[in-house]
Structure 1
Amino acid sequence: MKPQKLQDNQIIYRNPGQVVSFNNLYANILMSTGLVGLLWFLYILIDVFRRLF
């Protein structure tokens, strides 16, 4: 991550952490679609792991 602007001794980052954005994505899917979205998300994860291993 590179600081983009320097104002009043505060470093402002444009890109948040990868883990935080992934947790927000997971929470957004879970809260917006409920149980169906959770099952769909788990199905995608299992399918990805089957292709990798």
Structure 2
Amino acid sequence: MSVPGAWDPKGVGTQARVPFHTDQRQQPFTGDAGMMRGFLRLAEFVQALFASCALLF
């Protein structure tokens, strides 16, 4: 069992988490393009987190 958000190039752990795994549109993080999109979304989240932390201090 792979950890959600871990390095999963073939999308093996994705099928267990996504209920409609037969529909490709329900798997946004499958394949290389999906992985890059997920990484960019994670980077945006971290950047927003640091920006909000910088506003507090």
Shorter-chain TM-score bucket reads 0.3 to 0.5
TM-score normalized by the length of structure 1: 0.43
TM-score normalized by the length of structure 2: 0.40
The structure, 1 or 2, with the larger RCO (C-alpha pairs under 8 Å, 6+ apart) is 2
- Decide which structure has the larger Cα Rg and report it: 1
